[in-house]
Amino acid sequence: MTTTEGGDRDEAKKKEKLPPLVHVVCGWPLILVAVGGAIGGGLGGAAYALGLMVYRKTRSFATAFLASLGLGAAAAILWYVIANAIRG
C-alpha cells in the first residue's frame, strides 16, 4: 500500500493539537449530558465531533463558532423531540 503526499497531510492535520478555545466552542453541546442523560450526551458528543470536523476542514474559527451554535441548537431540539416522544 502506498501513501500519497495528500494522504500524509491529512494524517498530520488529524494529529495536530487544537487550541483549547476550539474545544470549548465546539464542546458546549456536551452540557446536554446534565439535562438529558445518555441521550443528551450522545447528541452533544455528536455535535462536538461534527464541530471539530468543521473546524479541521475550514480552519476558520468563525465558521466553527457558527457551526457549533447551529449543531448544538439542533442537538438540543432533537433531544427535546426524543424526550417528548418517550414521555408521550
Q: Are 55 and 16 in contact (CB under 8 A)?
A: no
Judge whether 50 lies within some domain.
Answer: yes
pLDDT exceeds 80 at position 18? yes
Judge whether 12 lies within some domain.
Answer: no
Judge whether 26 lies within some domain.
Answer: yes
Which pLDDT does position 59 carry in this prediction? Answer: 87
Residue numbers of the domain that contains 56: 19-87
Which pLDDT does position 15 carry in this prediction? Answer: 72
Judge whether 10 lies within some domain.
Answer: no
Q: Are 49 and 5 in contact (CB under 8 A)?
A: no
Beta strands in the chain (DSSP E): none
Judge whether 4 lies within some domain.
Answer: no
What is the pTM assigned to this prediction? 0.78
- Joined together, the cell numbers standing for residue 21 give 478555545
- Joined together, the cell numbers standing for residue 60 give 476558520
Domain count, the chain: 1
- Joined together, the cell numbers standing for residue 32 give 446536554
Judge whether 1 lies within some domain.
Answer: no
Residue 37 CA to residue 64 CA, distance in Å, equals 25
Judge whether 7 lies within some domain.
Answer: no
Judge whether 6 lies within some domain.
Answer: no
